[in-house]
Structure 1
Amino acid sequence: MAAGDATGLRALLTTHVSAGPLPGAVALVARGDRIEAAAVGSADAAGTTPLTRDSIFRIASITKPVVAAAVMTLVEEGRIALDAPVDEWLPELASPMVVRTPAGPVDDVVPAVRPITVFDLLTFRSGHGFPSDFSLPAVAPLFGELKQGPPQPQAVPAPDAWMAALSRIPLLCQPGDNWLYNLGSDILGVLIARVTGVTLPDFLAERVFEPLGMVDTGFEVPAGKRDRLPYYYRKGEAGGLELIDPPDGQWSTVPPFPSGAGGLVSTVDDWYAFARMLLADGTAGGRTLLSPASVRQMTTDHLTEPQREAGALFLEGQGWGFGGSVDVRNVDPWNVPGRYGWVGGTGTAAHITPSTGLVTILLTQLEAEGPVPSTLLRDFWRFAA
């Protein structure tokens, strides 16, 4: 692979890091075999440890495409089917109840009109998850009982207890009706473990990370690598930084609940290995991870226009494939129809554009302030477009 001139990319990152309060960033842009990568700033707010290309980041929701790909390996093996009801493996979801109206009380429910399928979970249309209106009564238990929201690996109950809690929370809508954010990927992580009989970390390590050479990706950072894990911050009062997690914090041990929605740590080169597999129709290093048909299903929009509009807070007009958004418009410089990927609440983003071979990956250690992409992200996408 040819290395590109990263001067422009480095200048872009330096501008944003110098403006503060972002301590640093690592980015990679690949156009075919031409790669530009840059690491700017520090791993800590004090500026004592420089970020490097192999710095390990908490990647949050760009975990989702990886877990979707893992599900598709099971589909290809015939161990599950896209149209199969999930209650065979997730009996907690065998008889879901649905709030009668989205704004109604959580105890005013009706039965689901049909079972929840694997396809429903992959497309975020199972009835579980976040709507654009967080004030709806049925949303509160997602935060309180299921610990949805910003990643907090050590605070979430183990899968069986988590599924038991999920079974007591009504769906916000009937299966298949609407797109709702996040929860589908966490349920898919449990599904993988139940179908295979091994933990999600072990399955991903064997079936995704090892074949692709993703040597620094997992649900924990071993002691010998923690010097490469930045401190993790959010914006505090008066423009300062508030520490959320140090290198020896919540990602220093395997969590009770390995989150398929946002639990992984990784590097720009590891996620790039995953991106290259998708761009190569499921093949990497002479090994086939997925079929071209599975890759197309992952990177194809499956939503209706009303579903995209209902999820506007998160999607901004984009569609949704399996585990990531799919651009269906060409309004802004970075919105190229067919671009697939997602953003993470820990300040991360990763996308591919199958039609051009473009890959863009940006990793930071500053928590996003909401679902709307930051100025840095938008500038980064403009640069890469």
Structure 2
Amino acid sequence: MISRRQFLLSGAAVAAGGLALRAFAADRFDPVIARLRRFVDDGALPFASIRIAQRGQVLAEAHLPGVEAIGPDSLYRIYSMTKPVVAAGVVALVEDGKLALEDPVAKYVPEFADLKVVASALDQLEPARPMTVAQLLNHTCGLANSWGDARIAPLYREAGLVAAAWMYDADVGGLEGFARRLAAQPLEFQPGTNWIYGYGLDIAGLVIERISGERLGDFLGRRFFDPLGMASTGFFVPEAHADRLAGLYAARDGGIEAVANGSERSPLTKPFADAGSGGLLSSLEDYGRFADMLANGGVRDGVRVMDEASVRTLTTPYGPQDALLPALQRFGRYAPGSVGHALGGIVRVDDRSGPGSAGEYAWGGAAGTGFWATPGLGLSVTVMTQLMPVTAAPARDALRPMVYEALAAGG
């Protein structure tokens, strides 16, 4: 394990010129970058990078080395930051007239036609109500995850439906086999009656595949990655680019330890399924381009990939919120009344995060990555690191108000 002192010394041993900053208004954002650097220098993060842009123009960018060097070419496991991308893919199909958000999931995934739901106990089940496509995207569908305290989580583990692992297991049978195994398990609650972080976006990925006739990664590449110039984003890292993959770290006992159990190398293997809940890898610039697109109504650098109305559908609270907000607020430690759930992410409903932050659409990943896009300001911010769990060093929470204040100060 790396102690905080050893961490700091190792960071100093990396090239002192590790800060790479390009800016039209660098002075405004110096405190933001200095605060992020302090997370690294104090040993709270292994390394970090940040990109701040407004209306597609990069205002500041920094790559801060720590226990290892990173740079613009570094690739990161973005885990749940995959969810907004897949949600955007679903909304793009709505824009194309290929489906409706209120369509029943069973229309595209007939394996889900006769689901059961837990009643008062695991051995007491009842028929589930129809699940809608939208409910896959805002975690109200009743599907849980293999971790956490859901009653059905142990059933998932027994069925081989283990987060971040099932897609590499040939016995699962890819995305279709995953859906069959999920359908054999009961839902945690009736669709639309509660909120739980789960596998909904994986099934949304299957919906995309069945409508488009393409593998999920190919569809997202054609619809978003290629036109936006996101050449480094995908569901695995080709061997030729293995040296670009940043290390993965875990916070333990007051220090940071490199993950070395083999899972850190999983991204170097092409999975049997493209996991819509958390399978993507990306670079700071690539994901920043996606965030730019959302912040600017579906267009970046003159290339439109979504209608403005579709972006609004994606990035504003969708459907009734009362049933989902209590569990969402506990999960994300959000102040009551501060957020709503959009499709694939949350949206800030007031300015308490900073001047002009109302309307901010945001989500993060298990290894501390995160982004937000604020259409009212044309603002996008992307932060990358590789430290689990995400709660170990809440850098985004510290940086968010500083970014808004710096932007407001600059007029």
Higher helix fraction (1 or 2): 2
Which residue of the other structure, out of 261, 264, 267, is the alignment partner of 2:277? 261
Summarize deviations over 1:113-144 as a string: whole Å, max 9, x none: 3x21212212222121259x943422322344
Quote the offset at 1:313 in angstroms.
2.6
Which residue of the other structure, out of 223, 236, 244, is the alignment partner of 1:220? 236
Structure 1 counterpart SS, 2:53? strand
Q: Which amino acid aligns with 2:113?
A: A
Structure 1 position 39 matched with structure 2 position 63: yes
Which residue of the other structure, out of 160, 174, 191, is the alignment partner of 2:176? 160
Could you tell me which runs of 5 or more consecutive residues in structure 1 were left unpaired when the two chains were aligned.
none
* Alignment partners' CA distance in 2, 1:64 and 1:334: 27
Which residue pairs with 2:51 in the alignment?
28
* Count of equivalent residues: 373
* Alignment partners' CA distance in 1, 2:103 and 2:355: 36
| CA spacing shift, 1:246–1:379, aligned 2, 3 Å | farther
Which residue pairs with 1:339 in the alignment?
360
* Alignment partners' CA distance in 2, 1:334 and 1:60: 29
Q: Which amino acid aligns with 1:37?
A: E
Which residue of the other structure, out of 97, 104, 125, is the alignment partner of 1:109? 125
Q: Is the 8 A contact 1:319 1:327 kept in 2?
A: yes
Structure 1 position 118 matched with structure 2 position 136: no
* Alignment partners' CA distance in 2, 1:223 and 1:359: 31
Structure 1 position 326 matched with structure 2 position 343: no
Which residue pairs with 1:189 in the alignment?
205
Structure 1 counterpart SS, 2:285? helix
Structure 1 position 137 matched with structure 2 position 162: no
| CA spacing shift, 1:172–1:208, aligned 2, 3 Å | same
Q: Which amino acid aligns with 2:195?
A: W
Quote the offset at 1:336 in angstroms.
2.7
Which residue pairs with 2:188 in the alignment?
172
Q: Which amino acid aligns with 1:298?
A: L
Which residue pairs with 2:378 in the alignment?
357
| CA spacing shift, 1:81–1:330, aligned 2, 3 Å | same
Structure 1 position 100 matched with structure 2 position 119: yes
Q: Which amino acid aligns with 2:224?
A: V
Summarize deviations over 1:69-105 as a string: whole Å, max 9, x none: 111121122221212112122111011111113xx22
Could you tell me which runs of 5 or more consecutive residues in structure 2 were left unpaired when the two chains were aligned.
1-21, 405-411
| CA spacing shift, 1:248–1:59, aligned 2, 3 Å | closer
Quote the offset at 1:178 in angstroms.
1.8
Summarize deviations over 1:168-196 as a string: whole Å, max 9, x none: 11112212222221311111111111222
RMSD: 2.6
Structure 2 counterpart SS, 1:305? coil
* Alignment partners' CA distance in 2, 1:232 and 1:351: 23
Q: Which amino acid aligns with 1:40?
A: L
Q: Which amino acid aligns with 2:360?
A: R
Quote the offset at 1:218 in angstroms.
0.3
Q: Which amino acid aligns with 1:354?
A: P
Which residue of the other structure, out of 389, 398, 405, is the alignment partner of 1:368? 389
Q: Is the 8 A contact 2:78 2:365 kept in 1?
A: yes
